[in-house]
Amino acid sequence: MTGTTVRRITVVGEEILRRDCREATTEFGTPELSRLIEDMFATLDVAEGAGLAANQVDVDLRLFIWNMEDEWGTRHRGHILNPVLAPLPPGRRRLAEEPEGCLSVPGPYLTVARPDLATVHGKDKDGNPLTVEGRGYFARCLQHESDHLAGRLYVDRLSQRERKRALRAMAEQRDEVFARRAARTEARQADGRTR
């Protein structure tokens, strides 16, 4: 991670979070793409999140990363470009209602219903085909990040009343969240892991 850059995380209200991200085409195998992915992992670490989409660091690209532990203690870490969330067969579709938050909506966690199983097809950074399957919290992460690349935030899945509640909570908590991220970035820089 030496020499990685912690990037600014975009927040609700910024236009890039509201549009479909562009497909990766010529980026595969480039040093710039590898650097972006490394920077995203550094940013995710500082922000203490589970996943991060490229538009959350102000890059218009169908790419997201994840680094999280599920409820069974399994660590999941990776990236995917041009992801497509596979539809679930009706017999395997079971909704789980769990608290969900977002680095671009700093602070609040509200209950969102999502399927407890997810499969995403796409490509790795070198353009090789990639399929990622998740259940439970990891499935939620894959769906949440896929939503980002289509210009949707978790608050869009809430009722109007709950959405307003989330945005009020964000307004109250964001300064504290930003201060914590800044302190973690400073600590990483002191360790020489970022710039």
- Please give the C-alpha separations between residue 194 and each of 7, 41, 46, 145, 185, in angstroms, as whole numbers: 10, 11, 11, 24, 8
Pairing mode, strands 95-102 and 105-115: antiparallel
Task: Exactly one of 15, 145, 172, 176 is catalytic; name it.
Answer: 145
Query: Positive or negative CA dihedral for 69, 113, 81, 33?
Result: negative
What percentage of the chain's residues is helix, strand, coil (to nearest 5)?
40, 30, 30
Residue given tokens 């890059």 in the structure block: 59
Place of tokens 């939620």: 140
Is residue 145 part of the annotated active site? The answer reads: yes
Q: Report yes or no: 37 and 65 within 8 Å, Cβ to Cβ.
A: yes
Q: Which residues are catalytic?
A: 145
